[in-house]
Structure 1
Amino acid sequence: MNNPSDSNPGPVRAVLADDERLMREQLRARLAEVWPELQIVAEAKHGAEAVELVEQHRPDVVFLDIRMPGMTGVDAAKQIAQMDVGDDGWLPEIVFITAYDQYAVEAFEQGAADYVLKPAERERLQRTVERIRKRIEARRSPDAQDVASEAPIQQLLHRLAAGAGGAARPQYLQWIQATVGQSIQMIPVEEVLFFISDEKYTRVQTLQVEALIRKPIKELVEELEPQRFWQIHRSTLVAVNAIASVSRDFRGRQIVAVKGHNQKLEVSRSYSHLFKGM
């Protein structure tokens, strides 16, 4: 089998793994800008597929989404790190892709692997690429030491799996992938004013955009930071910093006025305690 670390190593080869097609396409496009000579040999939609493709292609670098259905990116990285390195000491560099940075950044800063926050920004990805290229060049050099047995990557994976320091911290959504007209857009959570659900869709409202997603309110409640978004009705979430005022209508119901928008949001009795004193 020909490997990238032969005497004539050839181009650096990569495998991408993300369950969201839009994210894979966006990362592929960004990598083409900042690392045009990189050869992407395969793409995976989940962790198990990523492991299979890495074993098949033996790439120099693997870009792994941390949260994927079934086998997570962290679990996939564990299996990859335990693969047979062969006579050439092969093991790929790991770059984690994540929309969550509450606990990951501290672990990644140890340098055993790298990370990219979704959606991948050119400047941040450029820094990641520069570090990965240097490490690959060092491994390919004639006097490179065997790095297959080094512990930092295993320590990092254990920390990520445990949630940094042994206690898992909440991971909250940073971006909403939503349908706007005939296109799909990535909406920063910090720009969302409120979410309103009906039986089929959930409306995502910002100052500039009204979009639709299929994720119900009960799932969003678990995925959004509770200090940032309050549920005020079984079908409504509102950004706390978007609340302009709370008043009562002629029927005594609490009504939330939203900053910069004419929408009025009703507060159900179950959530009236959020606005004590009204």
Structure 2
Amino acid sequence: MFSCGIVEDEPNAMERMKRILKEIDSSIDILFESYNCEDFIEKANSIQPEVLFLDINVGDKLIFEVLGKLVYSPHVVFVTAYDEYTIKAFEEGAIDYVLKPVSKERLSKTIERISKIGVKKYSLQYYIQQLSKLPVKHGDEILLIEIKEIIYLEAENRTVRIITKDGRFECSTPLHTLMNKLPATDFIQVHKSYVISIKHISKIKKWFQGSYIIVLDNGDEVNLSRNYKPEFFRRIGFKE
């Protein structure tokens, strides 16, 4: 059927979710389970299951705070006891929003939805890759921006700016949603507000108290956040 990962900070709820999934379809491959956000990101990026079932309130964090660290684009299903995050969830690209307590009947509808849209999602990803362009809603238009021309993306409030060699474009699509459409081998998040193209890095400057500034080949400078520094240096092959 498909592979999945589950994020849930309540052990009983985790076991219930796993049991119901297997009752619906025993071929569903549960590749990992996580009880906190940090472990979730590490496992998800390493294992990359096709579907993520995510609780929203995980420990002392909201799962939305870490979604931007995903380096690939899975189907996301939010499973929560709260209904106030519905709009936010679908803005983040969710394919379903399931309220607790989870029932077999309700989750069966989710599984059916995943099955129906699976091929469509693959086809969209496939054609985007073939075009080597990023589709971006810009006002009443959909722009197709050459991925190789993108230098970096900058998020500010509800707006994301896409900076290319030829200009700057603004859209309301969340930063992590755009990042998930970009090739993970070429782009990396270096700050909660910035995703950059590794190919367009000019140099890296040491700054105050162990911080760094990344200079891009158009001359723009981007702060390297401490939270993203270890992964960034690992990706560029530099040992601090």
Bigger helix fraction: 2
Bigger strand fraction: 2
Q: Based on CA coordinates, which of the two structures has the bigger radius of gyration? A: 1
Structure of greater relative contact order (alpha carbons < 8 Å, 6+ residues apart): 2
- The two structures have a TM-score, normalised by structure 1, of 0.43
- The two structures have a TM-score, normalised by structure 2, of 0.49
